[in-house]
Structure 1
Amino acid sequence: MAETARQIADDLRARISSGELTPGDRVPGEPALVREYGVAKETARRALTLLVDEGLAVRRRGSGTYVREFRPIPRVANKRLAEDGWGAGKSIWDADLGDRQYTVTDLQVYESEPPRQVAKLLELDESELVVVRSRRYVVEGEPVQRATSYLPARDVRESPITQENPGEGGIYGRLADLGLKPVRFTEELRARMPSQEESSLLALSAGTPVVEICRVAFTANGRPIEVNQMLLDAGVYVMRYHLES
Structure 2
Amino acid sequence: MLQLGQLDRTDDRPPYRQIAALLREAIDLGALAPGEKLPSETALTQHFGVARMTVRHAILELRGEGLVAAEHGRGVFVRAMPPVRRLASDRFARKHRAGSDGKAAFLVEAEKAGYTADVDQLRIFRDKASEGVAERLRLPLGSELVVRERRYLANGRPIEIATSYLPAVIAGGTAIEEPDPGPGGIYARVEEVGHQLTRFTEEVGARMPSPNERKTLELGASVPVLTVVRTAFDAADVAVEVCDTVKVASAYKLEYDFPAR
Shared fold, TM over 0.5: yes
User: 2 CA distance for matches of 1:175 and 1:105?
Assistant: 22
Aligned residue in 2 for 1:71: 82
Could you list the runs of 5+ residues in structure 2 that have no partner in the other structure? 1-9
Deviation at 1:95, TM superposition (A): 2.9
- Segment drifting more, 222-231 vs 24-33: 24-33
User: 1 CA distance for matches of 2:139 and 2:159?
Assistant: 31
Aligned residue in 1 for 2:3: none
How do residues 75-224 of structure 1 correspond to structure 2 at under 5 angstroms? Answer: 75-88=86-99, 89-98=102-111, 99-224=114-239
**Residue 115 to residue 68, structure 1, CA distance change in 2 (3 Å):** same
User: 1 CA distance for matches of 2:173 and 2:75?
Assistant: 53
User: 2 CA distance for matches of 1:62 and 1:25?
Assistant: 12
TM-score of the two chains, using structure 2 as the length reference: 0.75
Amino acid in the other structure paired with 2:245: M
Q: Is the 8 A contact 2:131 2:141 kept in 1?
A: no
> When the two structures are aligned, how many residues end up with a matched partner?
238
User: 2 CA distance for matches of 1:27 and 1:151?
Assistant: 49
**Residue 47 to residue 136, structure 1, CA distance change in 2 (3 Å):** closer
Amino acid in the other structure paired with 1:77: A
User: 1 CA distance for matches of 2:168 and 2:87?
Assistant: 30
Deviation at 1:66, TM superposition (A): 3.9
Amino acid in the other structure paired with 1:226: E
Q: Is the 8 A contact 2:134 2:142 kept in 1?
A: no
Aligned residue in 1 for 2:69: 58
TM-score of the two chains, using structure 1 as the length reference: 0.79
Q: Is the 8 A contact 1:73 1:97 kept in 2?
A: yes
Q: Is the 8 A contact 1:131 1:150 kept in 2?
A: yes
Overall identity of the aligned pairs, in %: 34
Q: Give CA-to-partner distance per residue, 1:83-136, whole Å, 9 cap, x none.
A: 211234222123311252122212111111012100111011235201111111
Q: Is the 8 A contact 1:53 1:235 kept in 2?
A: no
Could you list the runs of 5+ residues in structure 1 that have no partner in the other structure? 36-40
User: 2 CA distance for matches of 1:114 and 1:167?
Assistant: 25
Secondary structure, in 3 states, of the residue corresponding to 1:80? coil
